[in-house]
């Protein structure tokens, strides 16, 4: 099996040594998306709810670039800058995704300056 690199102009270009997405066989891993302007790479100045919606939109764009969608997502990982933002992030997450929800892990970590949330996803398609 060989790897395929997935790219789309609808998500920010990587700022380091990583790809927007990588596929091997039926597995597609979307890299962590911070709410940024794809044209400038600047972090969106917004609350955690708006940053969550933007990050999820960028994950969705990488999924779509490989012909996948939220229905194919097995696992989502959410990284929050602040524990207190969980409820607002979860409400915005529910605005974008529908049941049945993928499995999810949410942790609090240090993020890039201005970033309140980062989201990545693992999708499985035949």
Q: What is the pLDDT along the chain (126 residues), one digit of tens a residue?
A: 899 999 999 999 898 999 999 999 999 999 999 999 867 889 999 999 999 999 999 999 999 999 999 999 999 999 999 999 999 999 999 999 999 999 999 999 999 999 999 999 999 987
Give 13: exposed, middle or buried? Use CB within 10 Å, 0-12, 13-18, 19+.
exposed
**Sheet holding 103-108: strands in order across?**
3-6, 21-24, 27-34, 117-124, 73-80, 103-108
User: The pTM is what?
Assistant: 0.95
- Does domain 3-124 fall under CATH 3.40.50.12780? My reply is no
């Amino acid at each position: 099996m060989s790897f395929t690199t997935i790219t789309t102009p609808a998500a920010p270009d990587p700022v380091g040594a990583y790809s927007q997405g990588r596929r091997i066989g039926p597995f597609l891993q979307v890299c962590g998306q911070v709410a940024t302007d794809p044209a400038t790479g600047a972090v969106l100045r917004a609350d955690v709810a708006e940053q969550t919606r933007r990050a999820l939109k960028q994950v969705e764009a990488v999924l779509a670039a490989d012909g996948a969608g939220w229905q194919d997502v097995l696992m989502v990982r959410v990284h929050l800058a602040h524990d207190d933002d969980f409820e607002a992030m979860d409400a915005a997450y529910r605005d974008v995704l529908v049941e049945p929800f993928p499995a999810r892990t949410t942790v609090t970590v240090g993020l890039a300056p201005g970033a309140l949330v980062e989201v990545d996803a693992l999708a499985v398609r035949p």
